[in-house]
Structures are given as C-alpha cells and as structure tokens.
Amino acid sequence: MRFYPVDIEERRELGGYTLLSYRWPDGSVQPGQFVMARVAGYPVTLDPFLARPFSFYDHDGEVASLLFEVRGRGTALLDRAPERIEVSAPLGHGFDIGANGTPAALLGGGIGVAPLKILSRHLTARNVRHDIFLGFAEARFAAVAAEFPGSKVATVDGSEGTRGTVLDAVPDLDRYGAVYACGPNPMLAAVKRVAGEDSVCQLSVEERMGCGNGSCNGCVVPVRDGGYVRSCIEGPVFRAEVLAW
Amino acid sequence: MVVRERTTRVDLAVELCGLQLHTPLIPASGTLAKEALGEVEGVYGAMLPKTTTPRPRAGNPPPRIAETPAGMVNSIGLQNPGVEQFLKDLDAFDVGVPLFISVAGDTVDEFVALCERISSDERISGIELNLSCPNVEHGGLTFCAGPASVEEVVAACRAVVREKPISAKLTNEGAVENARAAEAAGADALTVINTVPALTIDARARKVLVRGGLSGPAIKPIALRAVYEVSRAVNVPILGSGGVASGQDVAEFMLAGATAVQIGTTSFVREPHTILEEFAGFLRDTGMSAAELIGALR
Ligand SMILES: Cc1cc2nc3c(=O)[nH]c(=O)nc-3n(C[C@H](O)[C@H](O)[C@H](O)COP(=O)(O)OP(=O)(O)OC[C@H]3O[C@@H](n4cnc5c(N)ncnc54)[C@H](O)[C@@H]3O)c2cc1C
Ligand SMILES: Cc1cc2nc3c(=O)[nH]c(=O)nc-3n(C[C@H](O)[C@H](O)[C@H](O)COP(=O)(O)O)c2cc1C
Ligand code: FES
C-alpha cells in the first residue's frame, strides 16, 4: 500500500471527536470513501503496525478532513500527531447518490456521523432534499451536531435531544425514498429492518482492516447470496439488501 | 532487472528452477489482490496469487484479523472462488513474469486433481503446494505435520506435474525434516515458512479474538533461522517467506540461503517498490549481484 505524508492544516476538537484536515488536491473524493491513516510507518511504528481506516468527513477539492474518536492506540497517536500524518489515496466504494428517491434520510450513530458531512454537501449540490439524524452515547459527543444545522439528535443517556438511539430521533423512516446510514454494525442492521421497503437503503459498514486495498481478505461482511465480500473494495458502503444481516 | 543506481549498475536477476526472475522478490500467496497489482508494477520477479482450492471456499466468519506488535494474526480460511473461476480471472496476474500458482486440497487426491487441472495451462510457470492446510483424511493434521505426509502429497503431485517446477510450502515446525522429505519426493523448490500458529484474546470481552497464523516482522527471525537450516539440509532452491520488511531483510534471507524472497504482510504497510530499491542499494554498496548473495555467508 502506498502512503503519502501530509501536513496537518487544522486540528479541532468537535465535541468528543477530533477533526484533522490536510491538503488533498489530487482528484475527487466520493462520499463514503475512506483512507488508511497512521502517524508513521515501518520502521518508526512496528506497534501499532497497521494503518487505520477513516471515512472522509469532508473534501472541498483542496482540503480533506477526517473526524475521529479516540478508541485505542492508533487513534490516540493520531490525536497527538505533531505536524504530519500518512494517508493512503481515497479507497473503496462510497454512497451511490445518483439514482435515489427523495427525500433522503442521513443517519449517523456515534462516530458514524463522519461521512455524513461530505454526503450532505454532495446531496445539497444536487438539490436533493435531506434530513440528518444523529445518535450519540452522551452529550459530550453530540456537540458535533452543531456542524449539521437542522439535524435531529438522540442521546442514549437522554442528556441531549431525544432519549434513545438515532432511530428514536427519526419519526417515520419509511417515509424517506433514500436512507444513508453509518454507525456500529448492530445499528445498521436495525436501520435495515426499519427502512421502508421501497426506499434505497445504503449502509457504510465498519470492519477491522488489514490492508485497505483488497489484498488480505480480512475486512469481510457476509452477503445474502452466501459467502463474504471485502468491505474495503466492494464496500464500505453496501445496499442494505445485499448484506446478510 | 538492472537498476541504474547513481553510477553503479546493480544486477537483481536470479534463476529459480530454470526460470529467469528479473528481481528475487515474489508476493507471498494471499497477500496481493488483483486490485492492488498497479501498485507493484515491475517489482516482482514472479507472481503468486492467493491459494486456490478445487471448490469455492467462503472462508471464516469475521473477525479474521487482529493486529499484534510488528505483525498480525489472521484466520482467513482460504477464502477463494474455486479453481475454475480462479483460472478465468488469472489473466490479471499474467503480467509478463513467471506465474506460480498456490494450490491446496483437503486430501492428497484433491492436490493431485488440482495439479492436473492447472499444469497444462500455458500461463502457469510453476506450482506452490500450500501444505499448511488440514488433511481431512488424517484427522485434520496439516499436510506438513510430518515427513511421511509431506512425502506422500509431494510425490503424488510430482507424478502428474512433469514439466513445471513444484515448490512445497512448509511451516516452521519440522521444517528441516519436512524439507528433506519434500526434496526426496521430487520437489524442485521449497517455500519456507508459512505463518506461525498464534492466538489473540480480547481480555475485556473474555473472548478469543483470532486463532490463526502470525505474520509480519514479528516472525522474521524465526523464518530466517528456518531458511538457514533448511538450506544446509537440502540442495533445492528456497523461497524465503516470513516477516520480510526491508531491502536489508531480503539480503539477510538470501545470505541465509534463499534464492527468492516473498513479501507478504509488510506490503500492507509499505510499498514493495521501496523494499526493492533498498535491496538494490544494498547490492550497490556491497558490489555484489543478487545471485552472488545466495548463501554467501562468511
Ligand atoms: C470504512 C471505515 C471507516 C471508518 N471511519 C471512521 C471515522 O471516520 N472516524 C473514526 O473515528 N473511526 C472510523 N472507523 C473506525 C476506526 O477505524 C477504528 O476506530 C480504529 O481503527 C481504531 O483504532 P485504534 O488503534 O484507536 O483502536 P484499537 O486499539 O485497534 O482498538 C480499540 C477498540 O476498537 C475496536 N476496533 C478496532 N478497529 C475496529 C474496527 N475497524 N471496527 C470495529 N471495531 C474496531 C477494537 O476491538 C477495540 O475494542 C472506520 C472504520 C472503517 C472500517
Ligand atoms: C492475510 C493473509 C493471507 C494469507 N493467505 C495465504 C494463502 O492463501 N496461502 C498461503 O500459502 N499462504 C498464505 N498466507 C501466508 C503468507 O503467504 C506468508 O507465508 C506469511 O504471511 C509469512 O510471510 P509475511 O510475514 O511476509 O506475511 C497468508 C498470510 C496473510 C497475512
Ligand atoms: S482490508 Fe484487506 S482486504 Fe479489505
């Protein structure tokens, strides 16, 4: 895998998350695509050894940004990264925003909010009407909702917005012609169950990744037709009906 | 391949079982997808896609990988579309360098049937027998669990593959004994080693995370020793595999006796191109060719 050293242009706390921006003027980024990122590679970091996948939070043609939650060592190192990190080129299949019904519902669970910013930007550019629903564990994380004007929020502890999960913030999901969701896999399975039968439902899944370029077969999800497919190549965004969840 | 490094010419070519490799690097089976071939153009002296089996295999349920210091544990379960689909897709790997195919079966007969199926294919230069899969006729012990089993499967494959080289891929455990058995049964080469049995646990969840094989720089000294010992025990060429991460590592494996060196897990985090450039730099500094380096410990 090829990594590119990039200078951090901006680092900002967004609620419980960190936003990192870097210049990426080369080519376009599709909503839902991701990068493999790390603070440095071999031999500087033999532990952690692998890079980590992150969705694009935004890309305006010049500057790309990632939004991340510190979970373990990889993200802790990125959080503290001095001036530079290393990223791959944009990877994977993102959301298909071409042939969808309206209006659209965008659902983010926790850090699953990340790809909704760039998705919303692209939908707005196409004049697709859309509502944004965000679910968080607690109010500390919900602060990021300020970046999504008009979004509806739920928190599990009820400290902000509706008490419950993101689905509790959506009154009538089956009213929407298109559903886009990103979050923990159990949330995505729930969205799939609740989404209207006629709506186009797309889910951005989260699996552990080794390589990010299709080589290791580590990142698979089960599919309806039997067997597994790689979420870094065929995904990370899948049509809900394709997944065997 | 002759790389012009500053003013000195560096000769990277090696000969493996009568095949000319323009560099001694080969991708380790199961670590290079066709989608990633564009990133490695010109780097590899031979190609080696993921192991194929007689029928499609779904592979193991996730989680399949867990990171460990300087490596990872994987339990992919030989996910592959089966040999017929594999051959239909094979052109992607036919990039003008010798093409090795890795095969695995549940029984000796399946190994033989696979060898027969692929050995007449003109795109294919050689076969690697992945012997670290379980033999269902022997209670699930792997084919390289002991010399008798290695000898049986290699001899049976040799009997149906007369014109093309066969490399038997061995695990670290019993490598020397198994290497002798494979050579005696007619193997033209040996691939040493496969992943090392390993386990990761998620302590908070009190669950086994991944039970599988360890790969990456963590296993390099283990693989290096196996290559060194096997090269002293047999006369056939060795393809070194296990934790190779730099040009210096390539040189070490060749000095230990490897004719070619496989790059696996490290390709997930480093460009193989960089490894080749480092290796060329090493040769330039020492004034040796790649071929001269093989087994040239003082
Ligand atoms: C396509 C894709 C896009 C992603 N986008 C984002 C994003 O925009 N922002 C963000 O913060 N995170 C995102 N993630 C998740 C992110 O990759 C993980 O949080 C990160 O790898 C954790 O690394 P770590 O070293 O901090 O944690 P580790 O020390 O590796 O693990 C900490 C904890 O997280 C769990 N974990 C680690 N990796 C994963 C994984 N891939 N899936 C599920 N659980 C995991 C571990 O089991 C452990 O409990 C994305 C994942 C994928 C697959
Ligand atoms: C994700 C993954 C998949 C692998 N798949 C195969 C395989 O299909 N057949 C095989 O013979 N070896 C397979 N291996 C083993 C590698 O070919 C190699 O022998 C081993 O990983 C040690 O080398 P490395 O440390 O350079 O990766 C796999 C290894 C990894 C990490
Ligand atoms: S992360 Fe390696 S195949 Fe997807």
What pLDDT score was predicted for residue A98?
Answer: 80
Q: Of A205, A226, A207, A225, which is closest to residue A217 (Cα–Cα)?
A: A207
CA–CA min distance A101, chain B (Å)? 32
Determine whether the interchain pair A47/B216 forms a contact, defined as Cβ–Cβ distance below 8 Å. no
Beta bridge partners of A13: A18
CATH superfamily of B2-60+78-195+219-293: Aldolase class I (3.20.20.70)
* Model pTM score: 0.96
Quick one: pLDDT at residue B286?
96
The per-residue pLDDT for A15 is 86
CA A134 to chain centre: 12
B282 Cα to chain A: minimum distance (Å): 17
DSSP B78: -
The answer to whether B242 and B218 have CB atoms below 8 angstroms apart is: no
Phi/psi region, residue A200 (left: phi>0; alpha: psi -120 to 50; beta: rest), is beta
Cα A188 to Cα A240: distance, rounded to the nearest angstrom: 9
Strand partners, B170: B192
Separation of first and last alpha carbons in chain B: 26
* C-alpha torsion sign, points B121, B127, B131, B133: negative
- Cα–Cα distance measured from residue A207 to residue B269, given in angstroms and rounded to the nearest whole number: 18
Each residue's pLDDT tens digit, A143-164 = 999 999 999 999 999 999 999 9
- Alpha-carbon torsion A133, A136, A139, A143, what sign? negative
CATH code linked to domain A104-242: 3.40.50.80
Strands (E), chain A: 4-14, 17-23, 34-38, 52-55, 58-59, 63-68, 84-87, 104-109, 130-136, 152-155, 162-163, 178-182, 200-204, 220-222, 228-230, 237-239
**Nearest residue in chain A measured CA to CA from B209:** A208
Please count the CA atoms within 13 angstroms of the CA of B266 that sit on its side-chain side.
Answer: 32
pLDDT at B9: 79
Local confidence pLDDT in tens for the 245 residues of chain A: 999 999 999 999 998 999 999 999 988 999 999 999 999 999 999 999 999 999 999 999 999 999 999 999 999 999 998 899 999 999 999 999 986 678 999 999 999 999 999 999 999 999 999 999 999 999 999 999 999 999 999 999 999 999 999 999 998 998 999 999 999 999 999 999 998 788 899 999 999 999 999 999 999 999 998 999 999 999 999 999 999 98
Is the CB of residue A219 below 6 angstroms from any atom belonging to ligand 3?
yes
Minimal Cβ distance to A228: which of B58, B66, B72: B58
B17 among known catalytic residues: no
Q: What is the pLDDT of residues B154-192, one digit of tens each?
A: 999 999 999 999 999 999 999 999 999 999 999 999 999
Residue A124's region, left for phi above 0, alpha for psi from -120 to 50, else beta, is alpha
Q: Residue-wise pLDDT tens for chain B (298 aa)?
A: 666 555 567 999 999 999 999 999 999 999 999 999 999 999 999 999 999 999 999 999 999 999 999 999 999 999 999 999 999 999 999 999 999 999 999 999 999 999 999 999 999 999 999 999 988 888 889 999 999 999 999 999 999 999 999 999 999 999 999 999 999 999 999 999 999 999 999 999 999 999 999 999 999 999 999 999 999 999 999 999 999 999 999 999 999 999 999 999 999 999 999 999 999 999 999 999 999 999 999 9
CATH homologous superfamily for A4-87? Translation factors (2.40.30.10)
Task: Look at strands B71-74 and B65-68 and give their pairing.
Answer: antiparallel
Tokens 């090795």 found at: B100
Q: What is the CA angle A111-A239-A116, rounded to 5?
A: 30
What residue spans define the domains of chain A? 4-87, 104-242
Tell me how far apart the alpha carbons of residues A167 and B78 are, in angstroms, rounded to a whole number.
38
Q: What is the pLDDT of residue B1?
A: 63
Contact B189, B155 (CB under 8 A): no
Ligand 2 center to residue A90 CA distance, Å?
Answer: 26
Q: Which atom of ligand 1 is nearest to the CA of A236?
A: 1
Q: If phi over 0 gives left and psi between -120 and 50 gives alpha, with beta otherwise, what is residue B169? A: beta
User: In the sheet where A34-38 sits, what is the strand order?
Assistant: A52-55, A34-38, A84-87, A4-14, A17-23, A63-68, A58-59
Task: Dihedral sign for Cα A61, A62, A68, A74, please.
Answer: positive
